[in-house]
Amino acid sequence: MIQDIEPKIFYNTFAKKAIESQSKVILFFGRNVLIRQDKDNTLHLPAYGELSVENDAAVLEETKKYQYIFSIDNEEYFLKKSFGKEERFGTIEGYHWENISKLRQIESKEICFAVMNAFQLYIWYRDNYFCGRCGKKLIHSDTQRMLFCPECQNMVFPKVAPAVIVGVVHQDKILMSKYADREYKKYALLAGFVEFGETAEQTVQREVFEEVGLKVKHIKYYKSQPWGIDSNLLLGYFAELDGSGEITLDRQELAVAEWFDREKMPAHNDGISLTREMMGFFEEKEAFLKWYNQNI
């Protein structure tokens, strides 16, 4: 999956660091990121030194506008503090603006992962410029990843929205669907946000019933995945059909939902998404059944 970047290590501990010429800069404009793609498909983010700044005084002023966000191994990543409004930047030779939802290159998984994580923070900083309680300007904490209000002491932490992905299985078949009106047009497993006051397992039951009218049992947790583009923490579950397999489609949400035989899956593990890894795991009949039938 996209977060599996071993042997590289992702360090998300909050720290105050000054930007240096070799530091990587992640610039967003809307849902686009400034990136370079080489002929071998590898992706590269600009180093701070590649951005042109005119004189020494300007450089010093400029460096104050960048915020350290995380590291991967020794590589430090910074965000431009264009908070409160969207800033249109120019481009650097060799780089272009790319829609973040298209960044799925397995060759540069750690860059895609870094961009997704940075986007989650970018959105959080951008959308929390003012205090939601009293309307005053929020201040960036120096000691933790938190924004606080000097007027009413409101504290605002990064948003992480839990959502479930569900592989509904019935003997040698698994249920797959396509969304009605989203950018992602390929087959996916059922998915939905965790609502207030419910457990993730209750979300699984509710979402499956709402989207396809089916009941499930033996709900078993598989793995999770951070998905920064939508500020999600995805929780993957497999569940077994309970009763009739006749689908009643929620046409507002889904364009199609079908049962697929393990031998005839329309999509496989792409090494990026939890959904696709779950499809790939279901394909491995022996390993899947051994895991699923344990402690159930």
Q: How far is the CB of 144 from Zn ion (least distance, A)?
A: 18
Q: What is the CA radius of gyration of the chain?
A: 22
Binding mask 88-127 for Zn ion (x = CB under 5 A): ----------------------------------------
Kindly tell me which of 78 and 83 has the beta carbon lying closer to Zn ion.
83
Contacts (CB under 5 A) with Zn ion, residues 124-143 = 131, 133-134, 136
User: Nearest 5°: phi and psi at 96?
Assistant: -145, 165
Quick one: which of 101, 141, 154, 202 contacts Zn ion (CB under 5 A)? 154
Q: Rule CB under 5 A: is residue 146 a binding residue for Zn ion? A: no
What is the identity of the amino acid at 281?
F
Kindly tell me which of 8 and 136 has the beta carbon lying closer to Zn ion.
136
Whole-number Å distance between alpha carbons of 107 and 161 = 28
User: Nearest 5°: phi and psi at 115?
Assistant: -65, -40
Residue partners of 150: CB distance under 8 A and separation at least 6:
136, 139
- DSSP-derived letter for residue 27 is -
Contacts (CB under 5 A) with Zn ion, residues 27-66 = none
Kindly tell me which of 114 and 149 has the beta carbon lying closer to Zn ion.
149
Kindly tell me which of 64 and 159 has the beta carbon lying closer to Zn ion.
159
The answer to whether residues 138 and 156 touch, using CB atoms and an 8 Å cutoff, is yes
Whole-number Å distance between alpha carbons of 216 and 163 = 17
Kindly tell me which of 89 and 130 has the beta carbon lying closer to Zn ion.
130
Q: Which residues bind Zn ion (CB under 5 A)?
A: 131, 133-134, 136, 149, 151-152, 154
